Chain A
Amino acid sequence: AQSVTQPDIHITVSEGASLELRCNYSYGATPYLFWYVQSPGQGLQLLLKYFSGDTLVQGIKGFEAEFKRSQSSFNLRKPSVHWSDAAEYFCAVGQNSGNTPLVFGKGTRLSVIA
């Protein structure tokens, strides 16, 4: 069965500092991997996705993520955090065939301080 682990429940960073949110997945084959962001009271917005090919993927809002098969990881990074990045971030995994449901991690809440 697929599963996703986000080890950090809550992270606080200073504005302008770099950010890395961790995601580890369990899946038998090459998965489809996603990062979504959720601002308070809002729905989920897709930040980036990995299907195949280049293991470093670029997303919106200056985010990037790197797929590391050997570590079963798909960590999200941003070089310089802005106050508007404060939100909850979800990593998700899906099967690499057609339309299948996603399995989500429990989320990491990001707080940004001045």
Chain B
Amino acid sequence: NAGVTQTPKFQVLKTGQSMTLQCAQDMNHNSMYWYRQDPGMGLRLIYYSASEGTTDKGEVPNGYNVSRLNKREFSLRLESAAPSQTSVYFCASSEQQPQHFGDGTRLSIL
């Protein structure tokens, strides 16, 4: 019953370091999404992948890159971390609606 698995669960980085957040789903879903959650802001879409081989920008893509490695995996990369990227990151997947969410990665940039 894994669903959507995110790794790591917690991470602390220094400004300028790079980091890849991993996401994998075992539900054979075509679509996957990355959101960030900040206090008082709800969830905002960073990037999504409607199907294997495609990716599209969301509302807040700056400073991030994504890779849809295969149907199961969708990674989010911070090339040069900035304090403004301190957030909780959620990955989700869907095959039609609704979306299923992972437990999140709590990322702090010092």
| A interface, CB within 8 angstroms of B | 4, 9, 32, 34, 36, 42-46, 49, 51, 90, 92, 94, 98-107
Complex Cα spacing A32 to B29, Å: 19
| Proximity string of chain B (96-110) to chain A, C-beta cutoff 8 Å, 1 when within and 0 when not | 111111111000000
**Mostly helix, strand, loop or mixed at chain B's interface?**
loop
Asked if B43 is an interface residue, CB under 8 A from chain A, the answer is yes
Shortest beta-carbon distance from A105 to chain B in Å: 6
Report chain A residues within 8 Å CB of B58.
Answer: 101
- Give the interface size bracket for B toward A: 20 to 34
Report chain B residues within 8 Å CB of A106.
Answer: 40-42
Report chain B residues within 8 Å CB of A4.
Answer: 42
Task: State whether A99 and B95 are in contact (beta carbons under 8 Å apart), knowing that A42-B103, A43-B103 are contacts in the complex.
Answer: yes
Asked if B87 is an interface residue, CB under 8 A from chain A, the answer is no
Report chain B residues within 8 Å CB of A43.
Answer: 90, 101-104
